[in-house]
């Protein structure tokens, strides 16, 4: 797959991208400003109304999504209780939430961040947007932020420190409800990754962490 392409005309763009721009943006590309491909295809475009936009799409050339759905439908995986039961308890606790939602980036693994002079400089993976309560997203970040390479679950003490600093930085402490929601959501990503490890036969990094930490996190969530 091409890693980077120079600027040029819009003639080489896919019909699907052209149609999407016309349908969703009300304008069509007249110039490709740049194109970079790795896991996703990121393309900078100048439209015929003068606007410049960046699009991101993720093709599934390997058929991974279809394989995941096939496995799910066929029921070929038996999840261990520490994954299945924990997911049920997290789902039940978050199902009782009555908090306002915000649109936020939802994947705060350290591998999605780049820093300069001690300050955040770039945040990657913007297809991970979510409409969720702030406390849930903060909690998910508290569980996932330490991941670099194969994702894992941060130690409980590290998640507690994350949430403490987060509240200090926002200038307002979470309510008791929000704290519980944060701890429930701290297991979100790890449960997803634990299941993926079982599907794909990967080293059980997230599975080990969930098995060791689930009860403590669920207790803090009152789940």
Residues 79-100: tens digit of each pLDDT: 899 999 999 999 999 999 999 9
Lowest-confidence segment of 27-31, 58-62, 142-146 by average pLDDT = 58-62
Dist. CA 210–CA 90, nearest whole Å:
12
Closest CA to 99 of 138, 145, 127: 138
Which of 36-45, 115-124, 141-150, 213-222 is most confident?
A: 213-222
Ramachandran category for residue 201: left, alpha or beta (phi over 0 → left; psi -120 to 50 → alpha): left
DSSP state of 174: P
CATH 3.90.1200, applies to 64-221: yes
Taking residues 154-161, report their average pLDDT: 98
Give the burial string for 205-219 (b: 16+ CB within 10 Å, else e): bbbebbbebbeebbe
Tokens coding 136 = 């849930």
Which of 33-37, 99-103, 107-111 is most confident?
A: 99-103
- Pairing relationship of beta strands 129-133 and 113-116 according to DSSP bridges: unpaired
Task: Please answer whether residues 189 and 143 qualify as being in contact, where contact means their C-beta atoms are separated by less than 8 angstroms.
Answer: yes
| Average confidence score pLDDT of the chain | 88
pLDDT at 11 over 80: no
Kindly indicate the confidence band of residue 3, based on its pLDDT and cuts at 50, 70 and 90.
very low
- Residue 10: which residues within 8 A CB-CB, separation 6 or more? 18, 28, 29, 30, 31, 32, 45
Tally of CA atoms within 13 A in the half-sphere of 27 that contains its CB: 14
Domain layout of the chain by residue ranges:
4-57, 64-221
Residues 164-193: tens digit of each pLDDT: 999 999 999 999 999 999 999 999 999 999
pLDDT value at position 52? Answer: 94
pLDDT value at position 206? Answer: 96
pLDDT at 160 over 70: yes
């Amino acid at each position: 797959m091409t890693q980077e392409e120079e600027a040029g005309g819009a003639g080489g763009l896919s019909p699907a991208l052209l149609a999407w721009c016309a349908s969703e943006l009300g304008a069509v590309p007249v110039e490709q400003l740049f194109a970079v491909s790795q896991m996703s295809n990121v393309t900078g475009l100048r439209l015929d109304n003068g606007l410049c936009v960046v699009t991101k799409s993720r093709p599934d050339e390997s058929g991974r999504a279809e394989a995941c759905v096939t496995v799910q439908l066929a029921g070929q995986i038996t999840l261990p209780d520490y994954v299945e039961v924990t997911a049920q308890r997290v789902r039940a606790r978050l199902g009782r939430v009555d908090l306002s939602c915000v649109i936020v980036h939802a994947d705060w693994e350290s591998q999605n961040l780049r820093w300069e002079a001690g300050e955040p400089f770039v945040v990657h993976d913007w297809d991970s947007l979510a409409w969720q309560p702030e406390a849930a997203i903060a909690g998910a970040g508290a569980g996932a932020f330490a991941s670099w390479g194969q994702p894992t679950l941060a130690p409980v003490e590290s998640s507690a420190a994350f949430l403490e600093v987060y509240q200090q930085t926002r200038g307002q402490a979470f309510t008791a409800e929000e704290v519980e929601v944060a701890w429930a959501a701290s297991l979100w990503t790890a449960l997803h990754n634990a299941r993926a490890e079982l599907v794909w036969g990967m080293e059980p990094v997230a599975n080990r962490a969930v098995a060791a930490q689930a009860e403590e996190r669920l207790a803090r969530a009152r789940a």
